[in-house]
């Protein structure tokens, strides 16, 4: 049985947060309490904000954390987008798919390198990176998609490139 005074720490990603934050709430807290605590740290929050624990949608804000399988150091994602439309461009082709905001850039890369129309040699797939289409930096594979977009667009565009380290230039 959980102690009412015991606190748990949660990792939070979401719309409006520049990076993942760590918050502390009572073990018996509700999802609403987590949302309000995260909002104090910059989370964009309104009545349309949805919670995600991996691929599970956390719909009931009044439900206790333990009843939803949330425990110490769980990673939660909160976003107003129900899905993120992702476009990946490679060699004149385009891959398009919707992902949950809690999906990672690594999830997108895995799907994109396997996309049949791109016809990427299986030996080269591990050497491919994603770069924001409007930027010039590689996006880390553990970044959740929801942190790269927000309302009203709920979309993100990437270029799929061969990692420069494997092309002999930096």
**pLDDT (tens place) for every residue of the chain, 170 residues total:** 555 679 999 999 988 888 899 999 999 999 999 999 999 999 988 888 999 998 899 989 999 999 999 999 999 999 999 999 999 999 999 999 999 999 999 999 999 999 988 989 888 888 999 999 987 778 899 998 988 998 899 999 999 998 877 665 44
Domain boundary among 79, 96, 112: 79
The reply to whether 52 and 18 lie within a common domain is: yes
Tell me whether residue 1 is in a domain: no
Domain identity same for 88 and 70: no
Same domain, 52 and 92: no
For residues 63 and 88, membership in a common domain is answered with: no
* Token pair for 52: 């995600």
What Rg do the C-alpha atoms of the chain give, in angstroms? 18
Among all chains, which residue has been given the structure tokens 């691929």? Answer: 55
Question: Encoding tokens for residue 108?
Answer: 């997108």
Q: Which of 120, 162, 155 has its CA nearest to residue 138? A: 162
Which pLDDT does position 168 carry in this prediction? 57
pTM for the full predicted model: 0.79
- If one counts the domains in the chain, the total is 2
Which domain covers residue 58, as residue numbers? 7-79
CB distance 65 to 7 below 8 Å:
no
Q: Are residues 18 and 73 in the same domain?
A: yes
Residue 64 per-residue DSSP state: B
Domain closes at, from 51, 79, 107:
79
Judgement on whether residues 122 and 75 belong to the same structural domain of the protein? no
Calpha distance 116→2 (Å, rounded) = 50
Classify 8 as helix, strand or coil.
strand
């Amino acid at each position: 049985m959980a102690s009412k005074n015991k606190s748990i720490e949660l990792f939070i990603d979401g719309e409006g947060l520049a990076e993942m934050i760590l918050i502390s709430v009572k073990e018996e807290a509700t999802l609403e309490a987590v949302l309000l605590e995260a909002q104090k740290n910059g989370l964009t929050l309104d009545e349309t904000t949805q919670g995600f624990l991996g691929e599970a949608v956390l719909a009931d804000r009044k439900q206790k954390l333990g009843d939803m399988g949330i425990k110490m150091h769980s990673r939660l994602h909160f976003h107003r987008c129900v899905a993120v439309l992702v476009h990946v461009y490679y060699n004149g082709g385009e891959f398009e798919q919707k992902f949950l905001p809690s999906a990672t850039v690594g999830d997108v890369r895995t799907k994109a390198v396997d996309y049949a129309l791109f016809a990427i040699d299986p030996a080269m797939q591990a050497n491919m990176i994603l770069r924001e289409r409007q930027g010039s930096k590689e996006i880390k594979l553990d970044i959740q998609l929801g942190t790269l977009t927000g309302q009203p667009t709920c979309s993100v565009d990437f270029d799929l490139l061969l990692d420069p380290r494997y092309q002999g230039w930096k």
